[in-house]
Amino acid sequence: MQPRSWTNNHSSTIFPRILKRNLQVPMADVLAASQQARSARKANSEFRTLGLISVAHWVSHFHLLVLPMLFPFLKQQLGVGFIELGFALTVFAVVSGLTQTPLGYVVDHIGARVVLLLGLALGGLSFILLGLHLSYFSLMACAVLLGIANSVYHPADYAILSAHMNDARMGRAFSIHTFAGFLGGAVAPALMAALVAWVGGFGALIAAGAIGVFVALLLLIAGIPDAGAKHAPASQPKVSTRSLLTPALIVLTAFFTLLGLSNSGIANFGVVALMNSYGTSFSTANIALTAYLGASAVGVLAGGFLADRTRRHGQVAAVCFAINTAIVLMIALVTLPAVALTVTMTTAGFLSGVIAPSRDMLVREAAPPGAAGRAFGIVSTGFNFSGIASPLLFGWIMDQNMPRWVFVASAVFMALTVVLAFFTERKSPAQSGKPDAALNGVAGG
């Protein structure tokens, strides 16, 4: 009989078991620490990516207002009228509308990073060259180059965000990106006024352009990540050109057009409409519009949290715009005192901002895999359509001495947006969890 230890186990098995038990807890700690480190690195990478893309979007909206803020200087230097200066903005809008979709395809083909960097540099250099050699011809050339540069941002920005942000935080990422753009437009008047006072009109053009070039270098040095079909996993199915012409994206393009029309009437003609129809003072009308635009920016941030907590993005947009339709109709039909007008405009602006992240989520969900750049490029042309049509439409309304119809027409566009919002959600393939049948049908010829 062999002797037994007090553990009834062979002595050769005791120490390995003790060693294994002692190593289990430290090994688990090591694995947990490693996983936490990877999660922290990924979160830091997402934060850096969102910050860099938001700075680029800030530049895009800032550059949109550089020329309008310098109209008095340009008019004096070039000896032209406001019609000639306004024509430059029309050229910008047309070029941007024509190039937005093609550049979306370029983003998906060669990558979003290089397209975004080139867009920032092109926009910046166009202002620098205009500041160095100012003439009406160079102004029109600048408008063309700015139109091309402007069409880069939505396809490239959204492709990078869609590829590198956590799905659980995608709505908030979109909202911060949109808010940064709003902020760029908000500070443009004050910043350009300060630059003109400091370095003059020519210097202000060069400085505005230098900002774009500087941000392009910043993104390059910081290592902005890439996105697009070229950088998608090999297992991801290829998307044909024709497969993007789905009912979902067609409806979303119309949806973006109506959004632009409903907002641009109030933003561009709200002050003169309030003054001419309601006898509102210039200061009161400007305070009301400032409240509308400021509340829109705050609403965008709130809408990001909402977009991350629901998949019913179309219904969010429909409810917000249904309420806004009633609010804007009330502004059109009732003469409100100054305080009530400001409160009403603030509410309308907040609700119009809330839907922006849900709007972007609808596009992301409707986009086929690897085609985010093309999808956002296609639907963003809706904003270009509205940018071309709205000045003509609302300008005609004001010329007919019907200022109240600025708000009536905006309310009509909002009501149509409500109807389309339900169709966008129903057509989105992500909502049903199945591939879009129409997409497959078109792709198959």
Q: pLDDT tens per residue, the chain (445 residues)?
A: 455 544 455 555 555 555 555 555 565 555 555 566 566 566 678 889 999 999 999 999 999 989 988 888 998 999 988 778 888 888 898 898 889 888 888 888 888 999 999 999 999 999 999 999 999 999 999 999 999 999 999 889 988 998 888 888 888 888 899 899 988 887 888 888 899 999 999 999 999 999 999 999 999 999 899 886 555 554 455 554 556 667 888 888 888 899 889 888 888 788 888 888 788 887 888 888 888 888 888 888 888 888 888 778 888 888 888 999 999 999 989 888 889 999 999 999 999 888 888 888 888 888 777 777 778 878 888 887 887 788 778 888 888 888 899 899 999 999 998 888 877 754 444 444 433 333 233 233 3
Domain that includes residue 304, residue range? 240-445
Nearest to 50 by CA among 217, 134, 200, 163: 163
Angstrom distance (rounded) from CA 394 to CA 63: 24
Angstrom distance (rounded) from CA 201 to CA 198: 9
In a domain? residue 309: yes
Q: Coil, strand, or helix at residue 211? A: helix
Give Dmax (Cα) for the chain: 116
Same domain, 370 and 307: yes
pLDDT given at position 97: 84
Angstrom distance (rounded) from CA 331 to CA 414: 14
Same domain, 82 and 207: yes
Same domain, 212 and 275: no
Same domain, 272 and 220: no
Same domain, 204 and 257: no
Same domain, 341 and 277: yes
Cβ atoms of residues 174 and 361 within 8 Å: yes
Number of independent structural domains in the chain: 2
Cβ atoms of residues 238 and 370 within 8 Å: yes
CATH number at residue 426: 1.20.1250.20
Domain's final residue, options 197, 226, 255: 226
pLDDT given at position 137: 95
Q: How many CB atoms within 10 Å of residue 368?
A: 24
Cβ atoms of residues 200 and 85 within 8 Å: no
pLDDT given at position 164: 85
Same domain, 317 and 200: no
